[in-house]
Amino acid sequence: MTAVVLFVSCAAPLRIEKMRVNSNEFVFKTSTRTATVTTKKDFRQKLFNAKDFNKTLIQSLEFSKLYSINPSGDDYTITAELTHWFQPPFGLDFHTDLRVKYTIYFHGKSIYEKDLESHSVAKFKESLSGPKRSKISMEKAVKQNIEMFLTDISKL
């Protein structure tokens, strides 16, 4: 029975609503800039992939009102390249390191390029289940990374 519970909790994907930035502190004035968003590189794991990161980034950008997301005919293109992810396979506290290279293009010319690295920890007290702590730590790292990106581009 315990093995089944651990297996099910390992297989549960990360939750986009836990990674999305939807705090009022990141809501900026409405922008007339529209953009497409693509994530270039995928992780080789089942719980988290480029498609989920892309969806989370799009939802966070829409909420922040920095860019309107329109899949075609846009002046701006935002790319996110997942360049580094590390998380130990076991431990009492799960640490996650995540590095994403963000680039913003305006009519094909790069106007912003930066690697942002986030680090998060899910403590043992957050969940007794190791797989769940792993998931919590990854969700925190993604959210923190996107928050850093939104704060940075709000200054452009």
For residue 10, tell me if it sits in a domain.
no
Report yes or no on 7 lying in a domain. Answer: no
Residue 4 in domain: no
How many independent structural domains does the chain possess? 1
Q: Does 128 reside within a domain? A: yes
Task: Give a yes or no: residue 6 inside a domain.
Answer: no
| Residue 80 bridge partners (DSSP) | 39, 102
Convert the pLDDT of each residue in 68-116 to its tens digit: 776 665 678 888 888 888 888 888 899 999 999 999 988 889 999 999 9
Q: With respect to residue 83, please indicate whether it lies within any of the assigned structural domains.
A: yes
Q: Which residue has the higher pLDDT, 90 or 57?
A: 57
∠ at Cα 115 (136, 118), nearest 5°? 25
Range of the domain at 89: 15-153
Contacts of 70 (CB under 8 A, 6+ apart): 34, 35, 36
Return the CATH number at 107: 3.30.160.150
**Could you tell me the strand order of the sheet in which 94-106 lies?**
68-69, 34-39, 76-86, 94-106, 109-122
* Phi, psi dihedral angles at 124 (to 5 degrees): -55, -35
Does residue 149 form part of some domain?
A: yes
Prediction pTM value: 0.78
Region label for 107, one of left (φ > 0), alpha (ψ between -120 and 50) or beta (otherwise): left
List pLDDT tens digits, range 15-33: 777 777 765 444 444 455 6
What tokens does 42 get?
């995928």
**85 occurs within a structural domain:** yes
